[in-house]
Homo-oligomer: A and B are copies of this chain.
């Protein structure tokens, strides 16, 4: 194996998981810990990652200050993503919407897992393509400049011809009474089509977005099969959702 391959693998792992242990690298690369150490040292001096005691981190993740709202939110999203990934099984065909939470899900999918994923999100598609065993099918259409998300008749039409195992929707506002709401009309159309095309609907939401209502409605709570938050399923914040026939994770 070439040194360059090793270093690429290390950088991929760091970018994927934000942090990585030298021991794990040594094992999965089948080289001594010293070699890994030397590689990481080199990559660090090239400013491609940050070496820390026992491992390495990507530059975005090293500052773990809980005061910083963004980082805090990100770790919530990662914990949601971890729960979501555990819902996936080999051979499934799924739909994924866009948003940062779904991005984290895409990154955290195990390398071994065999999946077929349809998505209208450029970012999610890009992240999924890192996984050799995931077949990625992009739902083409007019792209929104800000969300990098395909919308319009083409997408809805393509979705109407699908019947997949599960659809994973991120970045929505959720309320027990009003259901799932958004502020972009075109996105709504696509998400509704996604829900129709899937046997099960999984909603990912950080607790901050619970009990808020936006302009347009995607669906009622009755259409939701699984609700994933960063909270413990028994958390009182989730009480208002318990009357519905859904799984809390």
Q: Which residues of B contact A52 (CB under 8 A)?
A: 2-4
Q: Which of A1-20 contact B (CB under 8 A)?
A: 2-5, 7-8, 11-12, 15, 19
How many of these chains are in the complex?
A: 2
Fill in one digit per residue for A137-149: 1 if any B CB lies within 8 Å of its CB, else 0. 1111111010010
Task: Sort chain A's interface into a size bin.
Answer: 35 or more
What distance in Å separates the Cβ of A74 from its nearest Cβ neighbour in chain B? 19
- Could you name 11 residue pairs across A and B whose Cβ atoms are closer than 8 Å? A4-B52, A8-B61, A8-B62, A12-B64, A122-B129, A125-B143, A129-B145, A139-B140, A140-B150, A140-B154, A140-B155
**Known contacts A122-B129, A137-B142, then 15 further A-B pairs from the complex at CB < 8 Å, ordered by chain A residue:** A2-B19, A2-B52, A2-B57, A4-B52, A8-B62, A120-B140, A122-B122, A122-B125, A125-B143, A129-B143, A137-B140, A137-B143, A140-B150, A140-B154, A140-B155
